[in-house]
Structure 1
């Protein structure tokens, strides 16, 4: 029981440490520079996903 508790505390401490290092090393995201979450009808082409490799109707 004592081993499980110490492993749990070590894991929590590690996660807190990683989160603190990440927050200290990075800056807050600027929501005005980020891409839109949903770009329905925005005119932006899809990129970097499986839907970009789908064959187009005119390219047969």
Structure 2
């Protein structure tokens, strides 16, 4: 039995996946607030003594 539907090849599937990931990144960038560098913690804040807050593991 022959199928009337053509299955996309490996290249088309890869390009479609990359296009969907790019679309998700663009939508996320458009909806998110820009980072305030004065209110953000240091990118290398390991061992800074600041306690984590707001995460599910910090709730008691």
TM-score (norm 1): 0.58
In structure 2, the gaps of 5 or more residues are 1-7, 53-60
SS in 1 for 2:44: coil
Aligned to 2:26: 20
Aligned to 1:32: 38
Mapped partners of 1:33, 1:8: distance in 2: 39
**1:9 aligned to which of 12, 15, 19:** 15
Mapped partners of 1:45, 1:10: distance in 2: 45
TM-score (norm 2): 0.58
Aligned to 2:51: 47
In structure 1, the gaps of 5 or more residues are 49-60
